């Protein structure tokens, strides 16, 4: 049985997350570790055009705001600041569910230039879910002050997605950031995100799970990523999928998920 894909219509996908889109609006998600300047970027891009509330069914705060860039209307959705997307907290779950099921046109991951190695963990996790990523390498002034040089061109090549240097507090680099995000969202820039490859036995197990869950998931859900989560024993992704796509095949999907686990 195939999923009848009610979220194929993107408007329905956004509605499930309590977002109302105006016509031709692009949806951009803003992710990042705490304290990287995410709110500063959000405020600088959206100005006073902001709205806050909770994520549906959660006590996690959400800010959304709009801006126009090169005549394109953009809705910016601020995700909770997280170190990972492994869904061990409500914050991580909200961020993960939106990236996997909310279908943003692009994602900005704000990273701290003074401790990139820690921040790249989240960048790699986001790039595992979606290729439409732009990294905002923020706090470049602070990095320079500490004698840390970040070559964002090399970083862009290594990661396979645009990495834009910024000093968000001073508004530096934000036009370039908006340009890159718009180009990625509209497919003008096609990224090739570096993928984490796991040990062969993990890859083989993931591929087997992937082939079993494929019939129950719409094509736009990242099957490999869901398979990897199931391999970790994280059934909460199945629950999130059912909550967002619930359409009768959920029992079968649950059985498949549990069967994976029963072995």
Ligand X SMILES: Nc1nc2c(ncn2[C@@H]2O[C@H](COP(=O)(O)OP(=O)(O)O)[C@@H](O)[C@H]2O)c(=O)[nH]1
Provide the strand spans (E) within the chain: 26-32, 50-54, 61-69, 72-78, 106-112, 133-138, 163-165
> From its phi and psi, is residue 44 left (phi > 0), alpha (psi between -120 and 50) or beta?
alpha
Number of helices followed by number of strands (H, E) in the chain:
11, 7
Q: Which residues are CB-contacts of 260 (< 8 A; sequence separation ≥ 6)?
A: 209, 212, 230, 231
Spell out, one character per residue from 44 to 83, where the chain touches ligand X: x when CB under 6 A holds, - when not.
-------------------------------------x--
Kindly state whether residue 10 participates in binding Mg ion, applying the rule CB under 5 A. no
32 binds, among ligand X, Mg ion, none (CB under 5 to 8 A by kind): ligand X
C-alpha 76/C-alpha 84 separation (Å) is 20
Spell out, one character per residue from 125 to 144, where the chain touches ligand X: x when CB under 6 A holds, - when not.
-------------xx-xx--
Among 1, 4, 18, 35, binds ligand X (CB under 6 A): 35
Kindly state whether residue 169 participates in binding ligand X, applying the rule CB under 6 A. yes
Among 18, 34, 187, 219, binds ligand X (CB under 6 A): 34
Site for Mg ion in 20-39 (CB under 5 A): 38-39
Query: What residues line the site for Mg ion (CB under 5 A)?
Result: 38-39
| Sites of contact with ligand X (CB under 6 A) | 32, 34-40, 81, 138-139, 141-142, 167-169
């Amino acid at each position: 049985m195939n999923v009848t894909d009610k979220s194929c219509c993107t408007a329905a996908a956004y509605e499930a997350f309590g977002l109302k889109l105006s016509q031709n609006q692009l949806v951009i998600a803003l992710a990042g570790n705490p304290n990287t300047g995410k709110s500063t970027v959000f405020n600088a891009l959206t100005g006073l055009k902001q709205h806050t509330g909770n994520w549906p069914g959660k006590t996690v705060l959400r800010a959304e705001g709009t801006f126009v860039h090169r005549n394109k209307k953009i809705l910016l959705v601020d995700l909770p600041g997280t170190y990972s997307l492994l869904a061990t907290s409500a914050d991580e779950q909200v961020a993960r569910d939106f990236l996997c099921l909310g279908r943003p046109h692009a994602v900005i991951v704000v990273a701290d230039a003074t401790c990139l190695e820690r921040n790249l963990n989240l960048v790699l996790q986001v790039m595992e879910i979606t290729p439409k990523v732009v990294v905002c390498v923020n706090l470049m002034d602070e990095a320079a002050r500490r004698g840390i040089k970040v070559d964002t061109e090399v970083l862009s090549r290594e990661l396979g997605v645009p990495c834009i240097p910024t000093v968000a507090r001073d508004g530096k680099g934000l036009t370039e950031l908006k340009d890159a995000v718009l180009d990625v969202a509209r497919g003008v820039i096609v990224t090739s995100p570096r993928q984490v490859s796991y040990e062969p036995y993990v890859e083989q197990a993931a591929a087997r799970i992937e082939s079993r869950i494929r019939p129950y998931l719409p094509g736009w859900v990242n099957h490999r990523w869901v398979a990897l989560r199931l391999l970790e024993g994280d059934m909460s992704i199945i629950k999130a999928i059912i909550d967002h796509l619930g359409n009768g095949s959920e029992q079968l999907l649950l059985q498949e998920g549990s069967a994976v686990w029963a072995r």
